[in-house]
């Protein structure tokens, strides 16, 4: 689950658009840990998306704000 919406500036007019929530934070942390040519997705996302692609590598990552390791799948650019 994530919350998305506009953020009003001092004038009351929408100044920005943002997304909030635990899944948004996890996605941002995975993006920051990905190497060149990699996309990291959580194991939960991999299964929820019902992806039928070969993934050559799985990793267990320590992410800021998470007390347990997060299982991820590594997708490589071709």
State pLDDT tens for residues 27-47.
Answer: 999 999 999 999 999 988 888
Residue 56's pLDDT is 67
Would you give the distance in Å from CA 29 to the centre of its chain? 6
Q: Tell me the pTM.
A: 0.77
45 pairs with which residues across the strands?
A: none
- The tokens describing 62, both together, are 């320590």
Task: Report how far residue 37's alpha carbon sits from residue 51's, in angstroms, rounded to the nearest whole number.
Answer: 19
């Amino acid at each position: 689950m994530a919350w998305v919406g506009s953020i009003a500036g001092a004038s009351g007019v929408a100044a920005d658009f943002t997304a909030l929530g635990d899944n948004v934070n996890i996605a941002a942390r995975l993006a920051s840990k990905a190497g060149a040519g990699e996309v990291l997705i959580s194991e939960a996302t991999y299964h929820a998306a019902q992806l039928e692609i070969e993934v050559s590598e799985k990793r267990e990552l320590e992410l800021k704000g998470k007390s347990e390791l997060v299982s991820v799948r590594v997708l490589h650019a071709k």
